[in-house]
């Protein structure tokens, strides 16, 4: 056992010396290799962290949201719906909600106006998301004006800015009082945008949704899990765009690796011939080249993955964020919680390290089993 360990140490020492003799070529290959791993790992880490953040933020959302549909479009819920829903078994809480979208021509961005459910807002004041405050250049105490769709101009005072930790979902949010909301969007009393429902038993959510669909045929119940799947599909779609571009880079790297693997340089063939001539066995040559490929690929993988980790969780994935977050104007700034999926790491490792190692061993094996004199003469 000690002899085998000593032999491996000598092989590694010789491998390091061999890599150093061709440092320019190997360094270039290492950088390209690490860049590929960096791109793929950044996309995987960012999308996984975004999905995790969305799931955590939606954990407090109502189990069911009821929307009224007219001619296939979302319409206001008239008075009387809340009372009828209250008679359904399984419904623990019900609350009519008021929210809507507003296009701001000043910065060409869409805002989400909403009546706050968990905080009291004085009429004439607003609580805005950090993205909106940053884009419009406002702070608590400043005045901001919006022209309603009726043409009337409304001026509000900024009471507060929402915390940055919620910016993933609140970057474009505007919270206001119910009185101001109804006046701004001209919504009569008793009408609501939708109804949020809390279900006592999580196993009864689909059953409650089915009862709602039967009792209110003009309405559509939306489950929290469906909203989460929508978020996931959006992130998957955007992730696919970036990964498709990364595949092109992988193909370019594969061509580079195959060229290196399929055609050994004259120096490498001469080196193998000399090693065979001084008594090295075929297995020794293969192990030496295996260590060479392993050190190169593992170093590139670690450099690329660690770089991606720092890029995503310390620099907010500045290279890919505009594509994967999807905001047109109000780019949110937030810190993602570090989340690593072991299966993703293993998959990335398998598809980046093993193909390169396998590609490099084939031509080396051919050279190693050839007569040393023939190998050195090419």
Q: What is the average per-residue pLDDT within 157-173?
A: 85
Backbone angles phi, psi at 293, to 5 degrees: -65, -40
Alpha-carbon distance of 373 to 378, in angstroms, equals 9
User: CA separation (Å) from 174 to 53, 180, 187, 189, 272?
Assistant: 21, 12, 17, 21, 70
Three-class SS of 17-39:
HHHHHCHHHHHHHHHHHHHHHHH
Whether residues 155 and 248 share a domain: the answer is no
Given a cut of 70, is residue 62 above it in pLDDT?
A: yes
Domain count, the chain: 2
Q: Where a domain ends, among 186, 211, 243?
A: 186
338 domain-assigned: yes
Q: From 298, 289, 350, select the one nearest 34 (Cα to Cα).
A: 298
User: For residue range 140-155, what is the model confidence (pLDDT) as tens digits?
Assistant: 999 999 999 889 999 9
At residue 236, the pLDDT reads: 59
User: For residue range 233-260, what is the model confidence (pLDDT) as tens digits?
Assistant: 666 555 565 566 566 566 666 655 655 5
DSSP 319-351: TTHHHHH--SS-----PPPP---HHHHHHHHHH
pLDDT tier for residue 307 given thresholds of 50, 70 and 90: very high
CB 175 within 8 A of CB 126: yes
Whether residues 106 and 18 share a domain: the answer is no
Given a cut of 70, is residue 35 above it in pLDDT?
A: yes
Given a cut of 90, is residue 25 above it in pLDDT?
A: no
225 domain-assigned: no
User: For residue range 266-297, what is the model confidence (pLDDT) as tens digits?
Assistant: 666 666 666 666 566 666 667 777 777 778 88
3 domain-assigned: no
- What's the token pair of residue 81? 């719906």
At residue 352, the pLDDT reads: 75
Whether residues 255 and 333 share a domain: the answer is yes
- pTM exceeds 0.85, yes or no: no
**Residue span of the structural domain in which 130 resides:** 99-186
At residue 306, the pLDDT reads: 94
- What's the token pair of residue 337? 């919680």
Of all residues in the chain, the percent with pLDDT exceeding 90 is 23
Whether residues 276 and 328 share a domain: the answer is yes
Whether residues 54 and 103 share a domain: the answer is no
215 domain-assigned: no
246 domain-assigned: yes
Q: From 285, 312, 269, select the one nearest 40 (Cα to Cα).
A: 312
49 domain-assigned: yes
Alpha-carbon distance of 247 to 233, in angstroms, equals 20
DSSP 194-263: EEEEEESSGGGHHHHHHHHHHH-TTEEEEEHHHHHHHHHHHHHHHHHHHHHHHHHHHHHHHHHHHHHHHS
At residue 364, the pLDDT reads: 62
The domain that contains 158 carries what CATH number? 2.40.40.20
Q: Where a domain ends, among 186, 201, 217?
A: 186
At residue 333, the pLDDT reads: 63
């Amino acid at each position: 056992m000690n002899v085998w360990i000593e032999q491996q140490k000598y092989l590694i020492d010789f491998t390091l010396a061999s890599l150093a003799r061709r440092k320019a070529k190997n360094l270039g290959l290492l950088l390209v290799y690490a860049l590929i791993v960096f791109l793929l790992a950044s996309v995987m880490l960012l999308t996984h962290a975004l999905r995790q953040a969305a799931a955590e933020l939606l954990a407090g959302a109502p189990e069911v949201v009821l929307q009224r549909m007219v001619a296939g479009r979302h319409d206001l819920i008239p008075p009387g719906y809340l009372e009828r829903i209250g008679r359904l078994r399984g419904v623990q809480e019900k609350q009519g909600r008021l929210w809507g979208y507003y296009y701001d021509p000043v910065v060409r961005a869409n805002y989400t106006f909403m009546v706050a459910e968990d905080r009291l807002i004085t009429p004439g004041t607003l609580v805005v998301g950090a993205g909106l405050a940053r884009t419009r250049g406002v702070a608590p105490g400043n005045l901001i004006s919006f022209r309603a769709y009726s043409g009337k101009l409304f001026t509000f005072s900024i009471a507060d800015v929402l915390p940055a930790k919620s910016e993933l979902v609140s970057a474009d949010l505007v919270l206001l009082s119910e009185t101001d909301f109804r006046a701004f969007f001209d919504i009569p009393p008793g009408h609501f945008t939708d109804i949020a429902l809390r279900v006592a038993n999580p196993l009864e959510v689909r059953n409650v949704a089915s009862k709602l669909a039967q009792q209110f045929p003009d309405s559509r119940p939306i489950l929290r899990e469906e909203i989460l799947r929508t978020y996931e599909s959006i992130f998957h779609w955007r992730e696919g765009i970036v990964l498709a571009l990364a595949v092109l880079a992988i193909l370019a790297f594969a061509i580079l690796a195959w060229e290196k693997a399929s055609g050994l340089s004259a120096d490498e063939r001469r080196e193998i011939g000399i090693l065979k001539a001084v008594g090295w066995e075929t297995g020794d040559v293969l192990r030496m080249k295996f260590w060479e490929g392993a050190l190169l690929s593992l170093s590139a993988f670690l450099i690329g993955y660690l770089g991606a980790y720092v890029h995503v969780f310390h620099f907010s994935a500045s290279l890919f964020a505009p594509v994967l977050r999807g905001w047109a104007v109000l780019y949110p700034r937030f810190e993602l919680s570090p989340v690593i999926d072991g299966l993703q790491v293993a998959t990335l490792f398998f598809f980046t390290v093993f193909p390169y190692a396998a590609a490099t061993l084939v031509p080396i094996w051919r050279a190693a089993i050839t007569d040393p004199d023939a190998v050195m003469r090419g």
